[in-house]
Structure 1
């Protein structure tokens, strides 16, 4: 090995050590996910039932597949707690009280996911979801989400006319997904149906790791929504957007391969069951070795993301060496997981 290569290898080792020391808490400790599902006014029996069923399906998969405790899954519906899986009525007061409780108990590095299902209206800061009683606007949500300064927050607005929520709520360490690109796309959201299907089914799990990230769910819903309109021979009247880099600009088709720190970089690491603690315990409940492998894999993914953020401050050789080491280690970890699960 040449002196230059030795120096680069030594630099890479130092960088890896620094990454381990300064990795975010979410990669070193088990994350918890706090999930709030809100279904608003249906306006007609068929919509009320549809919204309720979507909410129940999402709550069920969070509790059963991702082993989220009941205390961290709150589902508020138009008709209140007619079903034991529903926590109460989806009034503005109940939504804001739930977010306030989450803010008090969420630890640094935890994930807070809010899913809004229903009809939307308004524009700009007055963009809102229709609820029993007073509605909740983008301005209200901006106030309610302000306390979450040390958590990863995802607000998924699956309502019609939801696009104007995005620039109002965009912020650092926050994911905002809207079913439309503006307040002018006011028809019933087809995207909502497919986004819920992505999180509750298996079709969106592109990397076949047994979990669906918000980015995978988004991409699946975008693809299926386009397919729906093409099959119907209709002009597409809704165009979903995703923002998670805090620039207040949504992206229709995020591609993290093009921009390492662009839209999609955070959404690909957020799951209903958390980034590595709760989910790994669930999938490996009968095999502690498998659970440990998953935790190590999630930690490696976090270290790679942190390295990419530091790329501009590193020499090309040091960055390449460090990235190569991490990618090799990640590939070996993934291979070990597949072997233990009996997958090729």
Structure 2
């Protein structure tokens, strides 16, 4: 067995082990092993577009900060082989509306907002170089889009956009938990440095950084900044990906389940979304990754229902799902 196939085993096992406690590992390795003996031969094209919106900087200092973030995002997109569109200037709001109305329905879309935000007590706004736009306007622009959309809003007051933007096939990440956190948000700086594959942000060591991992890395780095500076934190990021309009703080992940008081935790889909794919992930097509991700969610749901099932039923369903998962890696693009 070649080194690459062994790495494929490790990669797949690291993704599914969370859903398979007390499992006969030999049987699973056998099921997946035959599928992985014929690895895919080339990187498949991505059906993903990234739109980066840059707002008014206000000062030269913030202009430099925004440029650093833009450079990190565009560099990551180039590395990922993904088309990135930059929207900025006096017609930012107009151009963004046009860009979203013409989005390719066959492509997923990531919308990144870099800049400042404001809140007048009623509406949260994104500060563009020309006319600003608010949460209701942005929600109206993305509402017609049927494809999966991820919005990474890194400006201050971005928490005011979360509820309006959430929904089916929507992942929303904001730098703040509410619109009244109006001071400059540093979260976006740390998120931008992580999304390209920063090793420190790769929590599961699968050689790629997901949206959730970048969120957790940036949240931790932001908290550390305020602690080291001896200041009260003025930003608390949220992730929302289950459509209920209620975000989840980074501190919840990895915490004692009993401490969550039965609240619904976001992050399941964000954990599967990656910009810069690992070498192994590049061998799969978008369709294969989509199928694989769906099966992983089914595995997680099965695990959660295990206590209500007898052992034979549980392992029968588990083996079926694992067989289907093996087929994903067996099918060549």
**What's the TM-score, normalizing by structure 2?**
0.72
How much is the aligned-residue C-alpha RMSD, in angstroms?
A: 3.6
2:48 paired residue among 26, 33, 51? 33
Moved over 3 A (4+): 254-262, 292-301, 306-315, 317-321, 323-331
The CA deviation at 1:140 is 0.7
Q: Is the 8 A contact 2:69 2:188 kept in 1?
A: no
Q: Which residue of 2 aligns with 1:76?
A: 87
What is the Cα deviation at residue 304 of structure 1?
A: 2.1
Instruction: Give the match's secondary structure for 2:200.
Output: coil
Residues 34-89 of structure 1: CA deviation (Å, up to 9, x unaligned): 101111000011111221221122012111x2111xxx3101234xxxxxxxxxx6
Alignment of 1:153-164 (within 5 A): 153-164=149-160
Q: How does 1:217-232 map to 2 (within 5 A)?
A: 217-232=214-229
Q: 2:283 aligns with which of 278, 282, 291?
A: 291
- Are 2:248 and 2:265, in contact at CA under 8 Å, matched by a contact in 1? no
Residues 205 and 326 (structure 1), Cα distance of their counterparts in 2 relative to 1, 3 Å cut: farther
Q: Which moved more, 1:45-54 or 1:313-322?
A: 313-322
- Distance in 1, Cα, partners of 2:224 & 2:319: 38
Contact 1:119 1:130 in 2 (8 A): yes
Question: What's the CA shift for 1:141?
Answer: 0.8
Cα distance, 1:54–1:292 mapped onto 2, change above 3 Å: closer
Contact 2:46 / 2:286 at 8 angstroms: preserved in 1?
Answer: no
Q: Which residue of 2 aligns with 1:61?
A: 76
SS at match of 2:194: helix
CA distance in 1, matches of 2:170, 2:121: 19
CA contact (8 A) 1:120 1:128 kept: yes
Which residue, 252, 263, 271 being the options, matches 1:268? Answer: 271
Equivalent residue number for residue 45 of structure 1? 60
Deviations 1:85-127 (A, max 9, x none): xxxx66101111111121xx222xx421111011001268721
Of 161-170 and 318-327, deviating more is 318-327
CA drift at 1:146: 0.8
- Which structure 2 residue ranges, 5 or more long, are not aligned? 1-43
Question: Does structure 2 conserve the Cα–Cα contact (< 8 Å) formed by 1:125 and 1:164?
Answer: no
Partner in structure 2 of residue 173 of structure 1: 169
Moved more, 92-101 or 317-326: 317-326
Secondary structure of the equivalent of 2:201? coil
**Secondary structure class of the residue paired with 2:102:** helix
Q: Deviations over 1:287-323 (max 9, x none)?
A: xxx8259986774343121354577799724345433
SS state at 1:41 partner: coil
Q: Which has the higher contact order (CA 8 A, sep 6+)?
A: 2
Residues 233-272 of structure 1 correspond to what in structure 2 (within 5 A)?
Answer: 233-253=230-250, 254-255=252-253, 262-272=265-275
Query: 1:127 matched to which residue of 2?
Result: 124
Answering whether residue 136 of structure 2 is matched by residue 147 of structure 1, we say no
Gaps of at least 5 residues in structure 1 are 1-28, 79-88, 274-278, 335-344
Give the whole-Å Cα distance in 1 for the aligned partners of 2:192 and 2:231: 22
Distance 1:128 1:228, change over 3 A: same
Distance 1:238 1:272, change over 3 A: same
Count of aligned residue pairs for this structure pair: 277
